[in-house]
Structure 1
Amino acid sequence: MPSPNSLRVAAAQMTSVSDLAANFATCSRLVKEAASAGAKLLCFPEAFSYVGTKDGDSVSVAQPLDGPIMNQYRSLARESSIWLSLGGFQEKGSDPQHLCNTHVIVDDTGKIRSSYRKIHLFDVDVPGGRVYKESSFTEPGEDIVAVDSPIGRLGLSVCYDLRFPEIYQLLRFQHEAQVLLVPSAFTAVTGAAHWEILLRARAIETQCYVIAAAQTGKHGDKRESYGDSLIIDPWGTIVGRLPDRLSTGIVVADIDLSFVDSVREKMPIAKQRMPIDFWKAASL
Structure 2
Amino acid sequence: MITCKSTVEMTSNTSSSSSLVRIAAAQMTSINDLTTNFNTCSRLVKEAVEAGAKLICFPENFSFVGAKDGESLSIAEPLNGPIMQKYCSLARESNIWLSLGGFQEKGPDDAHLCNTHVLVDDTGNIRSTYRKIHMFDVDVPGGMVYKESSFTIEGKDIVAVDSPVGRLGVTVCYDLRFPELYQQLRFQHQAQVLLVPAAFTKITGEAHWEILLRARAIETQCYVVASAQAGKHNDKRESYGDTLIIDPWGKVISRLPGAY
Scaled by the length of structure 2, what TM-score is found?
Answer: 0.93
Give the structure with the larger strand fraction.
Answer: 2
1:245 to 2:258 alignment:
yes
CA distance in 2, matches of 1:214, 1:103: 14
Q: Which residue in 1 is equivalent to 2:27?
A: 13
Alpha-carbon displacement from aligned partner over 1:56-76 (angstroms, at most 9, x marks no partner): 320100000011000000111
**Alignment-derived partner of residue 279 in structure 1:** none
Q: CA offsets, 1:40-84, max 9 Å, x none?
A: 000000000000012432010000001100000011111110000
Alignment partner of 1:104 is 2:110:
no
* Superposed CA offset, 1:92-148 (max 9, x none): 001110000000000001000000000000010001100001011100000000000
Matched, 1:41 2:55: yes
How many angstroms does 1:198 deviate by?
0.3
- Residue correspondence of structure 1 range 101-250 to structure 2 within 5 A: 101-242=115-256, 244-246=257-259
**Pairing 1:77–2:77 present:** no
Q: Which position in structure 2 is the counterpart of 1:54?
A: 68
Counterpart Cα distance in 2 of 1:79 and 1:14? 22
- Report the Cα offset of residue 5 of structure 1: 1.7
Shift of 1:233: 0.4
Higher helix proportion (structure 1 or 2): 1
Are 1:68 and 2:79 counterparts? no
Distance 1:42 1:230 in 2: 13
Q: CA deviation at 1:36?
A: 0.4
Question: Per-residue CA shift, 1:220-251, capped at 9, x if unaligned?
Answer: 01100000111000010111112x3135xxxx
2:119 partner letter: I
Distance in 1 of aligned mates of 2:254 and 2:93: 26
- Secondary structure of the corresponding residue to residue 84 of structure 1: strand
Question: 1:267 maps to what in 2?
Answer: none
* Residue identity opposite 2:190 in structure 1: E
5+ residue gaps, structure 1, are: 248-284
Aligned-partner Cα distance in 2 for 1:55–1:226: 21
Same amino acid, percent of matched pairs: 75
Structure 1 consecutive aligned stretches of length 4 or more whose deviation exceeds 6 Å: 1-4
- What residue identity is the alignment partner of 1:16? S
Counterpart of 1:276 in structure 2 is none
SS at match of 1:109: coil
| CA RMSD, 1 decimal | 1.3
Secondary structure (helix, strand or coil) at the match of 2:182 reads: helix
What SS does structure 1 have at the residue aligned with 2:27? strand
> Whole-Å Cα distance in 2 between the matches of residues 64 and 106 of structure 1?
15
Larger radius of gyration: 1
SS at 1:214 equivalent: coil
**Residue identity opposite 2:223 in structure 1:** Y
Aligned equivalents of 2:55, 2:107: Cα separation in 1? 28
Aligned length: 246
Whole-angstrom CA distance in 2 between matches of 1:181 and 1:163: 14
